[in-house]
Amino acid sequence: MTNETVLSTIEYKGKDAQNADFWKDCYHEDEVTPEMRTTGKQWFKYQVKFDGTKPIQITKSEKI
């Protein structure tokens, strides 16, 4: 299993990693540019545990 950092402008407070709302508009940490961060939207950082390509668990979430 691997842990990945996912950034999104969608806040998700649930625990269901596979059906989380933030998958509609999310980015890998390396894909987010400074220009994207300055759009005025609030960003959220999620630590997600994966089994292969399947998200298993949201281990941490925070507002950035």
Model's pTM, two decimal places? Answer: 0.84
pLDDT at 52: 92
Expressed as residue numbers, the domain containing 42 is 2-63
What is the full DSSP assignment across 4-59? EEEEESS------STT-GGGGGEEEGGG--HHHHTSS---EEEEEEEETTEEEEEE
pLDDT in 10s for each residue of the chain, 64 residues: 899 999 999 999 888 999 999 999 899 989 999 888 888 889 999 999 999 999 999 999 999 8
Residues in CB range of 15: below 8 A, 6 or more apart: 57, 58
pLDDT at 15: 86
Residue 41, Cα to own-chain centre: how many angstroms? 15
Q: Domain total for the chain?
A: 1
Residue pair 63/8 in contact (Cβ under 8 Å)? The answer is no
